[in-house]
Structure formats: C-alpha cells, structure tokens
Amino acid sequence: MPALEVSAVETLIVSAARLMTGRTTVFVGTGLPMLAAALAKKTCAPDLVCIFEFGGIGSPLDHLPLGVGEARTFERAYAAEGLTGIMETAQRGLIMDGFLGGAQVDPWGNLNTTVIGAHDDPKVRLPGSGGANDVGSLVWRTIILMRHEKKRFVENVDFITTPGYLDGPGARERAGLAPDTGPHRLVTDLAVFDFPPETRRARLVALQPGVAETQVRAETGFSFPVLPALERLPAPTPHELSLLRDTIDPEKVFL
C-alpha cells in the first residue's frame, strides 16, 4: 500500500498527543493544543482531564471548541469554574501539564506572544499572554507546540511573555517560581527537544519521520546539542490520522 500523506501540522499534533500517555490533567490552549488533547483522550490517555482557562474542567472534547472560552469547553464537563478558580487550581499545583505555543521560542524555552521587534515600536503586535504566562509559571510541566521555522526559533525572544528557564539553571527559582517546573518538551513538525537539568538549554532528542538533522539545524536560529541516542519518531498511524481528519476536526478549522 502507498504511504499515507501526512501534513506537518498532523505530525506535530500526533507527537504532542503521544506525550500525554499516563498523564492526568492538562491545561489546554486554543488551536493545535486542543487537537492534541482531543487526540490523546481518544487514543493514549482516555482519562485525561482537559482544563480550559475560562473554567471548563473535564470536557470530553467530542466537539472541537474554537477558543478557550467557547461553550463547547463546558460541554459535558465535570465542572464549570471561572478564570480565577482555574488559575488558583494551577497555583495549588493540581494541574500537571500545559500545552503552549508562541510566535518565538529561545533555547531556554521562553515564549513570545507579545511583539515582534521593540516593545514600544514593534514591527508586529501579537495577541499577548492570555493565560499563557500563568500556565508556563504555574503548572508542573509545559509542552511547547510550534511550527519549526528559523524566524521563530531565535537566540533571544523579542519579549518574554511566558517564562521557560529564563537564562539557565536556577533562574526560575530565583524569579520566585516553583522548583521542578518548566518546559518538558518542545515539539515541532521537524523534531523534539528536551531541556536537561544540567543546562536547561534545548537539546535535540528526536527527529520526525523523514527529517534529517541538517534540516533541523537549517531552521533553528540557535545552536543546540544532540542526544547521542537520537530517536526517530514513528509516523502517525492511519487510526490517529482518521480521528484527526474525520472526527476531531472534520471541518479543517485548525488542520
């Protein structure tokens, strides 16, 4: 049989969803994080509790929401909280994971969703933090989802909207954030990076199907080490693709 054609976005979503195996709670943002969470619930993490910024807790995501405050984030949910209640839940340490994206990411996992260029005279003004700063600051681990482009992967973000490891080991703690929190993985359509404790700088640990290390370096605006036993991720399965295309996002809102 001929190989299935898989888009870069589908590859990214599937890789992120698989990281939810055995996890319990996840703070979900708009767009690709919703698709990743919905796919995880239908495959590797059926008991995953999805939590949304505006108060929805535990929706099965049978119908894809268009945003974190949309009515479908409350559909068949366990509870309908408010924004402050959700943030308090995260502050209490009760949300294990958070899916985040951004316009820029640096080697420490800091994210920018505020401005491109100087803050007071930007080239582009972006939507801002929303709840992203709270997620990156308060949940136990974050998983960053991004399209892999050199203009997005920069040595220094133009503005730190959401803290990663700031400028290295111990920086989060010095800023008043809890120990043992921060970015866990940076997942892209080309590769996966981790942030080892000894450096807290992005390290290449896996390649997506059909991708060479040289491609990753060409699309990354900062240097990075490589795990000696570099992993090759398995391709999305027909079942995962069918769920994404026919069940989760049949109208191709985000795909």
**Residue of 5, 10, 53, 75 with catalytic role:** 53
Extract the tokens encoding 236.
Answer: 């999305």
The DSSP code for 5 is P
Name 97's bridge partners.
26, 141
53 is catalytic: yes
Residues 6+ apart with CB under 8 A from 218: 150
Distance separating alpha carbons of residues 22 and 44, to the nearest angstrom: 8
Q: Which residue has the tokens 């990076």?
A: 193
Transcribe 60-125 into DSSP letters. --SS--SSTTSGGGSTT-SEE--HHHHHHHHHTT---EEEE--SEE-TT--EE-SEEEETTEEEEE
Which of 159, 127, 161, 121 shows the shortest CA–CA distance to 144? Answer: 161
Expressed in angstroms, the distance from the first to the final Cα of the chain is: 24
Just list the catalytic residues. 53
